[in-house]
Amino acid sequence: MSTAAIAADGRGSSIPDPEYRDLLASVTEWVEGPGEEWADRIETGGTVPDALWKELREAGFLSLAAPAELGGRGLSFVQWMGLMEVFSRSHASVRMIVHVVNGTWRAMNPHADEVQRRKFVLPSVAGDLVVAFTLTEPGNGTGADITSSVRRVGDTYYLTGRKHLITFGVRCDYWLLFARLEGTSGSAGTVALLVDRHAPGVEVEDTSQTMGVRGTDHASLAFRDTPVPVADRLGAEGDGLSIALGGFLTPSRISVAMSCVGLAQRAQQLAVDHALERTTFGKPLAARQAIAFALAENAADIEAARALTLHAASAWQDGVPDAGSLSSMAKLTAVDMLTRVTDKALQVHGGIGYWKTAPIERVYRDARAQRFEEGTNEIQKTVIARGILRQAQGPRADAAPADPSAASAARL
């Protein structure tokens, strides 16, 4: 299988509409049935059991977004967003698993040689290999100011540095890790490495005690002269940051935006059900104008964010030049929408919604996490503003990085 024969990012794939509708119904049935049972188990135990990973893998839910040539289902990106919308109504850890596993291959595949494709990409798409995206560091931002470094001795890099907030960094098989050549600065000296989870010279600290998204493991990592074969480097020396922020970040931001839409839909559903069932002073809550207006505002908010997210998804799928700016607009809009919707949904529940026995309590906690995924609101605003100003300047625009994640602004 040659590199040229593979659609690197899957944008040319799609499945027939009847097949897609059947798949959408199957995912919805799982989310509303077994998915709810898994949610209770995750919240009770605080971890995602291996059996859930196995169930998701065997159902084919971990290989939906990749092209058929890589062993995936071959969905278009817009089709995949329709499924993400449904998955996101489930427990946040379920959403996180399908989001990450169905996206990490996008960073690897365009830069992998045939050996790397067989060793890393195909097993990742199949769900047999968990690859954790490993960029963020504790002492600086998430881009050109990374300080984790490697020195090369023959056919081996020796890695030294720290990473933190790494999703699935404990249970993964490899870290897709971004560092820089010793003595370099800026983006020119960065490298993308696939680092074996069990390589020597690594300390892994489980930092999974979070406000929400319970069960999704997160790690803090320390490397001291950890050996990494040069053969496990993606792309060339100097390509690291472009691999991290190129074909991965834009679709991932759109996916996070759609996850906000799905979770908001779940919050709205819980609020509507409660408003219809709860009676005060002889009338259901839904009959009270203040409650009805809150539900109406939520519905409009959700639809607006959904429309913008699908617009961004179509733009990225079609290769539209401003897809990056649209992805940031979608994420900015969707996370703010989710904050408003979940707050009103909790208010509709009254005091009972504050107890852990109420499903809205978990939804409310989980909603806060999306504000940090793939860049804060401040990052998104900077991306959008740069796009606006670059377009206004036309040919006079300089070559400033399109995404502030590639500069010190990432520490916001």
Instruction: Quick: pLDDT tens for 95-122.
Output: 999 999 999 999 999 999 999 999 999 9
Least confident residue range of 55-69, 99-113, 243-257: 243-257
pLDDT for the residue 405: 46
Element housing 286 (H / E): none
For domain 132-240, the CATH architecture is Beta Barrel (2.40)
Taking residues 277-295, what's their average pLDDT? 96
pLDDT for the residue 247: 74
Q: Kindly tell me the number of DSSP H helices and DSSP E strands found in the chain.
A: 13, 10
Q: What is the DSSP string of 122-185?
A: HHHHHTSS-EEEE---TTS-SSTT---EEEEETTEEEEEEEEEEEETTTT-SEEEEEEEETT--
The answer to whether 297 is a known catalytic residue is no
Between 1 and 90, name the one with better pLDDT.
Answer: 90
pLDDT for the residue 144: 82
User: CA torsion sign, 172 to 118 to 11 to 76?
Assistant: negative
User: Is a pLDDT exceeding 80 seen at residue 93?
Assistant: yes
Q: Determine the distance from the C-alpha atom of residue 383 to the mean position of all C-alpha atoms in its chain, rounded to a whole number.
A: 18
pLDDT for the residue 140: 82
Instruction: Quick: pLDDT tens for 23-50.
Output: 999 999 999 999 999 999 999 888 999 9
Which is nearest to 410 in space by CA: 129, 216, 187, 99?
187
Instruction: Quick: pLDDT tens for 130-176.
Output: 999 999 999 886 678 899 999 999 999 999 999 999 999 999 999 99
Tell me which amino acid residue 109 is: N
- Within 246-370, residue ranges assigned H as helices are 249-277, 289-317, 323-349, 359-367
The pLDDT confidence band at residue 273, using thresholds 50, 70 and 90, is: very high
Cα–Cα distance measured from residue 249 to residue 230, given in angstroms and rounded to the nearest whole number: 25
CATH 3.40.50.1220 assigned to domain 3-129? The reply is no
Q: What percent of the chain has pLDDT over 70?
A: 93
pLDDT for the residue 394: 81
Taking residues 227-244, what's their average pLDDT? 95
Instruction: Quick: pLDDT tens for 181-223.
Output: 999 988 889 999 999 999 999 999 999 888 888 888 899 999 9
Which is nearest to 212 in space by CA: 342, 363, 90?
363
Q: What is the DSSP string of 91-109?
A: -HHHHHHHHHHHHHHHHHG
Q: Which fold has domain 248-411?
A: Butyryl-CoA Dehydrogenase, subunit A; domain 3 (1.20.140)
User: Is a pLDDT exceeding 60 seen at residue 398?
Assistant: no
pLDDT for the residue 7: 59
Q: What percent of the chain has pLDDT over 90?
A: 81
Question: Which one from 85, 373, 374, 378 is the annotated catalytic residue?
Answer: 374
Cα–Cα distance measured from residue 183 to residue 236, given in angstroms and rounded to the nearest whole number: 17
pLDDT for the residue 410: 33
Which is nearest to 107 in space by CA: 160, 25, 177, 12?
177
Instruction: Quick: pLDDT tens for 303-362.
Output: 999 999 999 999 999 999 999 999 999 999 999 999 999 999 999 999 999 999 999 999
Between 244 and 201, name the one with better pLDDT.
Answer: 201
Tell me which amino acid residue 223 is: F
Cα–Cα distance measured from residue 346 to residue 354, given in angstroms and rounded to the nearest whole number: 8
Between 388 and 394, name the one with better pLDDT.
Answer: 388
User: CA torsion sign, 412 to 341 to 313 to 167?
Assistant: positive
Q: What is the DSSP string of 356-391?
A: TTSHHHHHHHHHGGGGTTTS-HHHHHHHHHHHHHHH
Give the up-direction half-sphere exposure of residue 2: CA atoms within 13 A in the CB hemisphere.
2
The pLDDT confidence band at residue 5, using thresholds 50, 70 and 90, is: very low
pLDDT for the residue 16: 96
Rounded mean pLDDT of the chain? 91
Domain ranges of the chain: 3-129, 132-240, 248-411
Q: What is the pTM of this model?
A: 0.91
